[in-house]
Amino acid sequence: MAPLKLNSQNLPRLLAAGGVKAKLPTYPRNGVIKEGIVHIGVGGFHRAHLAVYIDQLMQNHGVMDYAICGVGLQPFDATMRDCLRLQDHLYTVIERSAKGTSAHVVGSISSFLFAPDDREAVIAKMAHPDTHIVSLTITESGYYYNENTHELQTENHNIQFDLNNENTPRTTFGFLYAALVRRYQQGLKPFTVLSCDNMQKNGSITRHMLESFARLRNPKIAKWIAEHGAFPNAMVDRITPQTSAIDRTTLANNFNIEDAWPVVTEPFMQWVLEDQFSDGRPPFEQVSVQVVKDVHDVEQFEKYKLRLLNAGHSAIGYAGHLAGFQYVHQVMENPVFRTFIWQMMQEEIKPLLPQIPGVSIDNYCNTLMERFSNPTIMDQLPRICLNASGKVPQFIMPSIAEAIWVTGPFRRLCFVTAAWFHYLNGIDDSGRTFEIDDPMREELQAKARAGGTNPAELLSIKSLFGDDLRGDGRFVQEVTIAMEDIARDGIMKTLPKYIN
């Protein structure tokens, strides 16, 4: 059988065709469903995570009130809109591990709004009484959060624009605010704002940023949001590489599905979610989401995830890229790197983490080593290295600060910091140049070049590093030594100095 284009019309044909090995949605996608969720930022991660949980609720539990309306705020979201539109918003999740590959067509996204074309439609959709949740994967930089002051970046030109243009917003907070004003005027409850981004205290930060924004517009609305709004904290986890052209071809060849933009991911997925919703929620427990009452439980899981998984990725990413590797699993195949990652987690990070009842840190670390080593998902190092200014300060720096506080070891974490600083020069160990993809690229590169092997210039960026670390002699010295070694000898000669 020739591959069939993925769309609603072809679904029955795919279902009827004996040769199709993918799981397909059999629930109705018209009429009975309601769009209870508006999601901002429809990328790979959303399509491999929240949208999959919702699809399972629709397919296996008949929950039809929480289909998803996707929203794109950025010009680049037009491609996602076009691909999804062509396919009636159906797409395929390809799960890969050493055990094999499976494919699953997801039907939980039922429409898509592209904000630059019609901002009003997005505001109206969020304000609609059927919308109970607005969920977000907008990356760290989408929060306009100053890591140093813990406040909204009110001086930012996009935030300034939104503060002065209520009906034509650009930022997430501008849209949330405009829609909440309408709900307030209509006597509706505020929707829950559900952050699915990789940040410690993601819900609390979202609340603080939105309330700060609202206070600058209208204190009455800010008070209403503060009293009635809900912003659950959540730990989200699923490694989701960027889709490649080969993924599309193998899906067509092996599963007979022609999908313009499938998602590739690992079998593992986890979501620990604080039970704090202002206007109802789907029965997430039924699809293995760990819904918890106590925010401290979420915080502890978040800490494990960010300090071990994401920090592990950062260690693999910058140093691995400088050393000439392309994919995460290739770095893990190198015995020195593998030992470095394990020892960094075990000796430097683990002692700083809380005990979570029923969870073994060692099992957690072992599972991570396995997940990082998955050769089949082809997780690209440039993806890991993307937007480092939003990542390293929350994945690596807090562990260093805590290790200094408790006088624990932190040399390897300093090596990771040094590798990132060296990476900012945009030249790898064999002299090849590469681009840095980071919202703070210009400032970071200028400071990296001005500083050479002295980290003081970069560490002077207060919004990333605060005041404490750059004043700590041992930290600055460790980072300097690593930067000098990396600059002189390269990563592969320096790394052995950091393993026992």
Q: Looking at residues 411 to 450 of the shown chain, list those that interact with ligand CS2 (rule: CB under 6 A).
A: none
By beta-carbon proximity to ligand CS2, the closer residue of 48 and 461 is 48
Contact in structure between 65 and 34 (CB atoms under 8 Å):
yes
Nearer to ligand CS2, 237 or 279 (CB): 237
* Contact indicator for 104, 23 with CB cutoff of 8 Å: yes
Task: Decide if 27 contacts 59 (C-beta within 8 A).
Answer: yes
Among 391, 411, 412, 422, binds ligand CS2 (CB under 6 A): 391
Site membership for ligand CS2, residue 197 (CB under 6 A): no
Q: Is the dihedral of CA 53, 54, 58, 59 positive or negative?
A: negative
**Residue number with the shortest CB distance to ligand CS2?**
313
Q: Does 238 bind ligand CS2 (CB under 6 A)?
A: yes
Cβ proximity to ligand CS2, 179 vs 308, nearer residue: 308
Dist CA 346 CA 466 (whole Å): 27
What is the layout of strands, in order, in the sheet containing 270-274? 234-237, 270-274, 290-292
**Cβ at position 293, least distance to ligand CS2 in Å:** 24
Q: Please state the closest distance from residue 388 (CB atom) to ligand CS2, in A.
A: 8
Cβ proximity to ligand CS2, 395 vs 475, nearer residue: 395
- State residue 270 phi and psi, 5-degree precision: -150, 145
By CB under 6 A, tell whether 195 contacts ligand CS2. no
Please, are residues 386 and 108 in contact by the beta-carbon 8 Å criterion?
no
The answer to whether 310 contacts ligand CS2 (rule: CB under 6 A) is: yes
The interface region with ligand CS2, picked from 81-89, 184-192, 231-239, 476-484 by CB under 6 A, is 231-239
Distance CA 159, CA 428 (A): 36
Nearer to ligand CS2, 158 or 242 (CB): 242
Q: How far is the CB of 48 from ligand CS2 (least distance, A)?
A: 9
Per CB under 6 A, does 104 bind ligand CS2? Answer: no
Which residues does residue 97 pair with via DSSP β-bridges, in sequence order? 100
Distance CA(465)–CA(129), nearest Å, equals 43
Residue 435, SS3?
coil
- The yes or no reply on residue 237 touching ligand CS2 (CB under 6 A) is yes
Determine the 3-state secondary structure of 359 from DSSP.
coil
- Would you say 231 or 318 has its CB closer to ligand CS2? 318
Contact between residue 262 and residue 92 where contact means Cβ atoms under 8 Å apart: yes
- Judge contact between 318 and 386, C-beta under 8 A: no
User: Could you say whether residue 198 binds ligand CS2 (CB under 6 A)?
Assistant: yes
* DSSP tag of 134: E
Residue 460, classed as helix, strand or coil, is coil
Describe the strand order of the beta sheet including 263-265 as a list of residue ranges.
Answer: 100-106, 91-97, 263-265
Among 109, 384, 469, 482, interactor with ligand CS2 by CB under 6 A: 384
Query: Which of the ranges 154-162, 235-243, 344-352, 443-451 carries the binding residues for ligand CS2, by CB under 6 A?
Result: 235-243
Asked if 319 touches ligand CS2 (CB under 6 A), the answer is no
Residues binding ligand CS2: number (CB under 6 A) = 8
Q: How far is the CB of 236 from ligand CS2 (least distance, A)?
A: 6
The residues of the shown chain that bind ligand CS2, judged by CB under 6 A, are 198, 237-239, 310, 313, 384, 391
